[in-house]
Amino acid sequence: MRQFISELRNFFRKGDMVLLGLCVVLTLFGCLVIASTTNVYNDSRYVVIQVGAMILGIGLYAFISSVDLELLSEHRYAFVILNLVLLAMLIPFGVVRGGNRSWISFPFLPIDIQPAEIIKMTYILIMASVMASHQNRPSAIVSVLHIVFHFFLIVIPNMVLSSDLGVTLIFAAIFVGMAFAGGINILWFLLGSGLLALVFPVFWNVVMSTEQQNRILALIDPTIDPQGLDELWQFTLSKRSLTGGGFFGQGLFQGTRTQTEGALFAQHTDFIFAAIGEELGFMGCALVLVLLLLIIARCIQIGFSSQDYMRRLVCFGAASALLFQVMVNVGMCLGVMPVIGLTLPFVSYGGSSLVSLYAMLGLVSGVHARPAPTSHERYIRPPLI
């Protein structure tokens, strides 16, 4: 405890202020856009909640950045239990949004909580800890089966209880990114791709609904929705907003569709990038993408600068989650990716999402503060379970 208090006091000296600064700038920009996109609702609570989430997130960033990563790794079983408990809470307290039961609603809280957002951070920790326990033979059958077990331990309950395909794909992106960075042999990736090809027909015909199938097929087969009024309706609205902004945009609080209720679907969450395109134009979109890529690049840079296997994996896991989410969200707005309900990190409205993002990058800041283990004498590697 004494060491933690000392680390917390030294946060501004040892923590990654560059990464924190990038996150805060992007969040404040997002709050400005949220204020504009929710202006049509005449309700300021969206901005208030987002600012409150940012303040809480910064506190968690500092707190987690000051915690020894080795200490967190030693308690990975507690995180596994926490993840399963959070998912199990969807049974009695889950609410349906957009066809997915992925939110927990408590009457005593002003916002709903999305368990998967919290689990993203703890899953990165678990993966890094498990892979570190096999770092001498990362491609051995036992090693690969161990990390695959923990992957399905999260993915299967999440799909069964929430049916949220978007979040499941984020877990898959984290898994692939960390496995690649951890030195897993390329043959395992080829084997995994082959198995996916075998089970895909079953997943397509049994798990996915006709509506979900058409959303994907419509991207490559224009005859499914030739008028763009059904499966492609959201894409149609999004592309109209993006192309309507030109180079510099129509101006904040002045977007033709953004300031018309119902003219742009989910303009403060999933399709906020399209709203930015309309009101701030190409320059606004470019600014957002540059800031996001700088955050991802900073995570990768910190990972490369650490010689510790587990710490490096934590950074690459965070970078993988962010990169995948940015690619899918922007792709959704451009009409080249199916709509799977993924928001734009640090920009889209969402309290639990924003807090969890700051917490996740707090782990990266902790690696920046302590790039090598500081507890060799007391650290005992967890058993291979």
pLDDT digits (tens, 9 = 90+) for 298-346: 999 999 999 899 999 999 999 999 999 999 999 999 988 888 878 999 9
Q: Higher confidence at residue 235 or residue 188? A: 188
Residue 7, pLDDT above cutoff 80: no
Q: Which of 135-149, 182-196, 238-252 has the lowest mean pLDDT?
A: 238-252
Predicted confidence at residue 311, as pLDDT, reads 95
Phi and psi angles of residue 87, each rounded to the nearest 5 degrees, phi first = -70, -40
What's the mean per-residue pLDDT of the chain? 89
pLDDT at 281: 95
pTM of this structure: 0.91
Q: What's the pLDDT at 223? A: 79
| Residues 276-295, mean pLDDT to the nearest whole number | 97
DSSP 329-356: HHHHHHTSS-----PPTTTS--HHHHHH
Q: What is the pLDDT of residue 379?
A: 46
The predicted pLDDT at position 244 comes to 87
**Number of helical (H) and strand (E) elements in the chain, helices listed first:** 16, 2
Evaluate whether 346 touches 287 at the Cβ level (below 8 Å).
no
Looking at residue 338, its pLDDT comes to 84
CA dihedral 302, 13, 59, 275 (to 10 degrees): -50
- Report whether pLDDT(377) > 70: no
Mean pLDDT value across residues 254-263: 89
Mean pLDDT score, 135-156: 94
Least confident piece of the model among 104-108, 310-314, 364-368: 104-108
pLDDT at 3: 67
Question: What does the block give as tokens for 350?
Answer: 């969402």
pLDDT of residue 42: 86
CB 231 within 8 A of CB 214: yes
For 221, other C-beta atoms within 10 Å of its C-beta total: 12
Q: Binning pLDDT at 50, 70 and 90, where does residue 380 land?
A: very low
Q: Given this model, what pLDDT does residue 374 score? A: 65
